[in-house]
Structure 1
Amino acid sequence: MSDAAGVIRVFLVDDHAVVRRGMRAFIDMLPDLEVVGEAVDGQDAVEQLDHRAVDGELPDVVLMDLMMPRLDGLAATSAIKARHPQVEVVALTSFSEVERVHAVLEAGAAGYLLKDAEADEVAAAVRAAMAGEVHLDPAVARRLTRTLVAGGDPVGELTTREREVLILVAKGQSNRDIAHELVISERTARTHVSNVLVKLGLSSRTQAAVWAIREGLVPSP
């Protein structure tokens, strides 16, 4: 996994070479990120990671396109998280694919980016994934929220468990803390956090905490 110098090992999966080149160029500008491999589709990614696991050379984070031939990003994410749960996945999406975003988060992805994301946004998503957090592209989060809520009350769209998770996030608890508090797995806790962010149209835990305080769900510090 990440080396002694703290460099995060990134693996790129996209069926378009120009996208892979662009992402590699972004990542090459960042001193704490390093591209260690590429795959042309989901099937190629799963097979390569299986081989890397044998050699102890798994990446830390996979940047995963959602729309690909043979095996799409959703199926590949599910397969990778099942076989190599220590590997984090960040989905790459376009506006036409937003209906897939919720599904890929449920499959275990640690967030998603638009394909035209800037280098600092890519870095933020990869670093968040390594920290066990969720990073959602703000524009896609807002669009998802409009489709989910359709003008209703966002807090009313949250399940009871999601409200509990939101309150714990606002109190500064980590995914591990939330999992312990609610007697659930850490992955389930992260999924709940991602669902909360999507439904509220937010892109970070900090925004969720501010939102919860503003709405009176928790007292201000």
Structure 2
Amino acid sequence: MTATAPHAVRVLIADDQPLVRGGFRMLVDSQPDLAVVGEADDGAAAVDFVRTHAGSALAPDVVLMDVRMPGMNGIDATRSVLHLDPRVRVIVLTTFDLDEYALEGIHAGASGFLLKDARPEELLDAIRTVARGDAVIAPSTTRRLLSHLVAGAAGADAVRDDPAVTGVAQAGAPRADVSRVDALRSDVPRTDPARNGAAGAAGAAGSVPEVPHTCPRDPWRDPRLRTLTAREREVFELIGNGLSNGEIMAELFLSEPTVKTHVSHILAKLGARDRVQAVVIAYETGVVLPG
């Protein structure tokens, strides 16, 4: 293995396809400020590498983690790697635009995710970004994936947990049409045959249950957001929309130290590890709507 430059970002590549690993290695090693320190063909090997080389010159700063690998998958591996060394940054790599595992990777502690067909400069920028302690949230693919994944998860939960909807489905009648936006709003009333008398009986008989129309819930009433100040709410909404610190500075006419202070306070109040988890919370609470 060639010597690593003293200040180069050390990268571990975890992917079960040798050609993919080789391509990533060539790309990363072509940069003077980046260096591949190892490869792993599954999640368990990635965890073993981090454990074996902890504290040494081969300890990775960033792991490029494929989601779908035999044995231990990339989600479980991400969780284990960060348990071993919380300073390691993980970028989850996924092939599909709507990979259900991508959001799980973020919840597991990954600092971002990219599609494998992203442009080479996007991958290199992502490595540098997470190595600085920030998170990969700016690319449109990331925002699109978060939008679909959070909305899809909320919609599935709404259907699964709704007695009226599941009851009608079992009876063979069409399900009620619950929009993705409504699925994100936890206060949208649900029809329950056991509680709603004649309407409930009609639902049990096979008609489509009526979902009463209500005004949208105020996302700022979510317990996770109640302690944010007015200015922190402004900054949080811009973070949720993928803006960088520089873009937030320009949008709100604030200085860089002020923006950094607000971001730090927001992450602490949300209990978020980094900006990606803050973005997830922005989607989950409805501060940023999917679409």
TM-score normalised per structure 1:
0.74
Distance 1:181 1:195, change over 3 A: closer
Q: Secondary structure at the match of 2:50?
A: helix
Q: Is the 8 A contact 2:270 2:278 kept in 1?
A: no
Q: Please list every run of 5 or more consecutive structure 2 residues that lacks an aligned counterpart in the other structure.
A: 152-178, 185-215, 240-244, 250-255
Letter of the 1:194 counterpart = V
Q: Secondary structure at the match of 2:93?
A: strand
Q: Is the 8 A contact 1:52 1:58 kept in 2?
A: yes
| Equivalent residue number for residue 22 of structure 1 | 23
How much does 1:190 deviate? Answer: 2.9
| Equivalent residue number for residue 94 of structure 1 | 95
Paired with 1:157 and 1:47, the residues of 2 have a C-alpha distance of 46
Letter of the 1:63 counterpart = L
| Equivalent residue number for residue 273 of structure 2 | 188
Is 1:166 aligned with 2:240?
no
Q: Secondary structure at the match of 1:95?
A: coil
Paired with 2:107 and 2:218, the residues of 1 have a C-alpha distance of 16
Identity of aligned residues (%): 31
Higher mean displacement: 32-41 or 192-201: 192-201
How much does 1:134 deviate? Answer: 1.5
Paired with 1:96 and 1:196, the residues of 2 have a C-alpha distance of 20
- Greater gyration radius: 2
Distance 1:52 1:138, change over 3 A: same
Q: Is the 8 A contact 2:114 2:141 kept in 1?
A: no
Distance 1:18 1:177, change over 3 A: same
Matches within 5 A, 1:51-130: 51-53=52-54, 55=56, 57-95=58-96, 98-130=99-131
Higher mean displacement: 15-24 or 188-197: 188-197
Distance 1:104 1:181, change over 3 A: closer
| Equivalent residue number for residue 143 of structure 2 | 141
Paired with 2:126 and 2:289, the residues of 1 have a C-alpha distance of 17
Letter of the 2:117 counterpart = D
Larger RCO of the pair (alpha carbons < 8 Å, separation 6+): 1
How much does 1:157 deviate? Answer: 9.3
Is 1:42 aligned with 2:43?
yes
Paired with 2:63 and 2:33, the residues of 1 have a C-alpha distance of 15
Task: List 4+ stretches of structure 1 deviating above 6 A.
Answer: none
Letter of the 2:237 counterpart = L
Distance 1:109 1:192, change over 3 A: closer
State the Cα deviation string for residues 13-64 of structure 1 (Å, max 9, x = none).
Answer: 0011011011112112222111111011000110111010154531110000
Paired with 2:128 and 2:59, the residues of 1 have a C-alpha distance of 17
Letter of the 1:145 counterpart = S
How much does 1:195 deviate? Answer: 1.4
Paired with 2:79 and 2:91, the residues of 1 have a C-alpha distance of 12
Q: Please list every run of 5 or more consecutive structure 1 residues that lacks an aligned counterpart in the other structure.
A: 203-221
Letter of the 1:90 counterpart = I
Higher mean displacement: 145-154 or 24-33: 145-154
Letter of the 1:48 counterpart = F
Q: Is the 8 A contact 2:134 2:274 kept in 1?
A: no
Paired with 1:114 and 1:158, the residues of 2 have a C-alpha distance of 33
Higher mean displacement: 19-28 or 177-186: 177-186
Q: Secondary structure at the match of 1:79?
A: helix
Would you tell me which structure has more helix in proportion to its own residues? 1
Q: Is the 8 A contact 2:272 2:278 kept in 1?
A: no
Instruction: Kindly tell me the number of residue pairs found equivalent between the two proteins.
Output: 199
